Amino acid sequence: MGIIFQGKDKIFHLQAGDTSYCIQIEREGYLAHLYWGKRIQQFNGSNPILYVKRGFSPCPNPMDVTFSLDTLPQEYPAYGNTDFRTPAFQIQVENGSTITDLRYKSHHIYDGKPKLHGLPATYVEEDSEAETLEIYLEDSLIGLSVTLIYSVFKHLNVITRSVRFKNNGSERLILLRVLSANVDFRDDQFDLLTLYGAHNNERNIVRRQIVPGNQSIESRRGASSHQQNPFFAMLRPNANEEEGEVYGFSLVYSGNFLAQVEVDQFHTARASMGLNPFDFTWILEPTESFQAPEVVMVYSDAGLGGMSRTYHELFRTRLCRGLYRDLVRPILINNWEATYMKFTAEKLVDMAKTAKEMGIELFVLDDGWFGKRDNDKSSLGDWVVDKRKLPNGLGDLAKKINQIGLEFGLWFEPEMISVDSNLYRTHPDWCLHVPNRGRSEGRNQLVLDLSREEVCEYIIHAISTILESAPITYVKWDMNRHMTEVGSQGLPSGRQRETAHRYMLGLYKVLEEITSRFPYILFESCSGGGGRFDPGMLYYMPQTWTSDNTDAISRLKIQYGTSIVYPAITMGAHVSAVPNHQVHRVTSLAIRGEVAMGGDFGYELDVTKLSEKQRNEIKQQVTLYKNIRHIVQFGLFFRLLDPFIGNEASWMFVTEDQSEAIVSYFKVLAEPNAPLKRLKLKGLNPKFPYKCLETGRVFGGDELMYAGIGLPMLKGDFTCVFLWFKRVDSLEG
């Protein structure tokens, strides 16, 4: 178990959970990829690389005409010396050449998993949880040393990869391309699954067959983005939700990324992922190092569901950090859709009082409490309370809310600046911009230049001052536009293309500082909803506002798509008013509640305007969620019916000991003469008897999973069924 170096064959055999990953030091010191898949006891070379002479595949050694990098499955391919496929990295040296030639130098295997300097990454709590292999490669001509870092989690099918570059030479190197992981699969029999979307419509699932040539997704927006999530999976064509081989790749980074799969002339597939090389360069002076972000690679032979559950467990327990990682999350009420920016202290207190009567635990004051922010045209950057709206200040409001019996939370958008702000009037050069060019606004705002130390210091100081001024136990950290005119006045001309990555490093520094200064605060990240729902942000903030779209029917797809990688405990999900503010659909409180209970539950509507009947219904929802949240937030997640392919959706959660489960079934549109529905459950123990708390009936886990449970005939559009099962002593009940 762990990492073995088979010296005779020069094979590194990495074992993670039920997975093996094998690398060989090949002829001339090149690193070849041998195998990644189901665990093998000992790799004895049953899967050797065959050397054959191929036309138009040149050879680095003219004496060895069967050996070409063009045909070698490689671990970290370079550019310029016989491999014509996409390189994992590219470097320019002072004479203008962009050719490199990396050879094996040495390696080191050790217990534990290293931190990545300045970057978020998965971690271990005990060194015994993981083992790490560092392979040192060198291009001796230019003094470049490259460290490939692999960590294997012993009890999970997870291998993480990252790369560190060091300039050991005497001349300046320019990094043009630095991907973090490259896997040369030995064939091309795969489908590619990615998560695409838009604002209000995040993480739709698309699956396509890979074809010869390049297929890629990327972000050039300065954020991981609503448009493409930094994730992809390669699935064997027969793989489905429960069966078949799936290979997942997830980048722990929140900025520009590239993920691509290239099928070459020999029908092999090269999968690679990392920082987007588009508009990126990085100057590496002698003695300097550059650390690339981490890619989390998951293997599953139990289909997509198996892959998702591995990501869920890893991200919930070894990516998210802090006090709230292991705590149930509070049920919150957020005033955004209730009041937008038009509120008074009295109104907020009234909302909190009603929320308390319904059992809600946390009140969140959203945008509009600072500067002179009556609309989105001003005040970002001026983190000073607006005394017109809150005459007695934030401390007083927070205390009142606390006295009512709720915790108090606050919204910020720290990375932004409004042109109409004191901050901009004082520091017009603090935003990302290019001299003499226009400054394009998005949502009437500009992006602060977090590649600059003084800007980061300002944010840390301004946000900390507010957080120290009142009993605040929750923060929503928003970010509402993407980057344009990407340039920094803090960097010389040769380093302008470092700006976007330096921004991310600045942001991570700020987040590290603020989250460690205020360890008792629950942080939720947000970017116009789920525009930065990525592992990088989850490292600092253990939950994310999943989407600005709170419509229950839209949320079926959004939450289902998000669940491909991210666990329910990371997904903020709220009940909002109808007609829904984003899509104007009218749905019942019941379905809005049940959909939102698939994540970190909350409300986002004016509770003071509800009828008594509605308040009672909410009271019941809140009580129910308090009773089941340990199952949703810490249980195993199973997708049952896919909303992307039908009129229905269904998912379920099962506690780790399989003693409790909850099932949600949703039907979008009513059907005339609909077939009778049986729903087959998953993840239960076939030997356990379970009582359905809604009907009082007892069934064996085997019956529920193999024969399924009959669902009632549903009438009308947008309907749902909720079932809660508890293990009982016998099938007699």
Q: Which residues bind ligand DGJ (CB under 6 A)?
A: 336, 366-367, 411, 478, 480, 526, 528-529, 545, 548
Active site residue 551: no
- Nearest distance in Å: CB 425, ligand DGJ: 22
Q: Least CB distance from residue 374 to ligand DGJ, whole Å?
A: 12
Q: Which is nearer to ligand DGJ, 522 or 641 (CB)?
A: 522
Beta bridge partners of 4: 13
> Shortest Cβ contact with ligand DGJ: which residue?
367
CB of 379 to ligand DGJ, least distance (A): 11
**Torsion sign over Cα 715, 554, 616, 695:** positive
**Residue-wise DSSP of 312-356:** HHHHHHHTS-SGGGGSPPPPEEE-HHHHTT---HHHHHHHHHHHH
- State yes or no: is 366 an active-site residue: no
Rank residues 75 and 534 by Cβ distance to ligand DGJ and give the closer one: 534
Computed on alpha carbons and rounded to an integer, the radius of gyration of the chain in Å comes to: 27
* In the complex, least distance from residue 573 CB atom to ligand DGJ, rounded to whole angstroms: 12
Tokens for 113, please give them: 């998993």
Tokens for 204, please give them: 């739709």
Which lies closer to ligand DGJ via its Cβ, residue 77 or residue 561? 561
Compare residues 300 and 544 and give the one whose CB is closer to ligand DGJ: 544
Q: What is the largest CA-CA distance in the chain?
A: 87
**Whether the Cβ atoms of residue 415 and residue 459 lie closer than 8 Å to each other:** yes
Q: Which is nearer to ligand DGJ, 70 or 478 (CB)?
A: 478
Active-site annotation holder among 184, 188, 386, 548: 548
Structure tokens, 393: 């200040």
Structural tokens at position 97: 């050449």
Compute the distance between CA of residue 107 and CA of residue 645 in angstroms, rounded to an integer: 48
Residue 536: exposure state from Cβ atoms within 10 A (0-12, 13-18, ≥19) = buried
The DSSP 8-state label assigned to residue 399 in this structure reads H
At 251, the amino acid letter reads L
Long-range pairs for 214-217: beta carbons < 8 A, 24 or more residues apart: 214/86, 214/260, 214/261, 214/262, 215/260, 215/261, 215/262, 216/258, 216/259, 216/260, 216/261, 217/258, 217/259, 217/260
Give the residue with the Cβ less far from ligand DGJ, 160 or 570.
Answer: 570
State how far Cα 539 lies from the chain centre: 9
Q: At its nearest, how many Å lie between ligand DGJ and the CB of residue 411?
A: 6
User: What's the closest the beta carbon of residue 365 comes to ligand DGJ, in angstroms?
Assistant: 10
Distance from C-alpha of 197 to C-alpha of 207, rounded to nearest angstrom: 14
State in angstroms the smallest separation of the CB of 413 from ligand DGJ: 7
- Tell me if 271 sits within 8 A of 258, measured CB to CB: no
Our CB check for ligand DGJ shows the closer of 83 and 366 to be 366
Q: 356: which residues sit within 8 A by CB, 6+ positions away?
A: 404, 405, 406
For ligand DGJ, the closer of residues 367 and 600 by Cβ is: 367
**Active-site choice (184, 366, 420, 478):** 478
Helices (H), 223-318: 303-318
Catalytic residues, which ones? 478, 548
